[in-house]
Amino acid sequence: MISFYLLYGGSLYLQPRSVPFAAIDDFSLRRRFSYRTILIDLETRVSFDLFEGRTEDVVRRRLEKLPNLKVISLDGAKAYASAASNLP
């Protein structure tokens, strides 16, 4: 369960084991004003990263921390597709 602290200003980054399969999605706390992005390990179905924002740059920096990532499940957001396609 995501705590109140994480939703309202906190940040979560759990050092994941090598995550080859991840899902990414965002949600709004206040529509058009405050967004968070969550990363979920698709093998264990456990969230391992929650952070503020949903822009391409923010997402790309987080995905770069996952060197063993092979597959990303994402919705139709252009920022996520751009971030994923610009990974090394």
The string of pLDDT tens digits covering residues 22-50 is 999 998 877 777 888 999 989 888 888 88
Average confidence (pLDDT) over 59-66: 90
Task: Give backbone dihedrals phi and psi of 36, rounded to 5 degrees, phi first.
Answer: -125, 150
CATH 3.30.420.10: does it fit domain 7-85? Answer: yes
pTM of structure? 0.77
The DSSP output letter for 17 is: S
The string of pLDDT tens digits covering residues 73-88 is 998 889 999 999 988 7
pLDDT mean across residues, the chain: 81
Tokens of 62: 């987080």
CA-wise closest residue to 56 among 16, 13, 85: 85
Tokens of 58: 């923010």
Task: Give backbone dihedrals phi and psi of 24, rounded to 5 degrees, phi first.
Answer: -130, 140
Query: So where are the chain's domains?
Result: 7-85
Q: How far apart are CA 40 and CA 70, in angstroms?
A: 14
Q: How far apart are CA 19 and CA 48, in angstroms?
A: 10
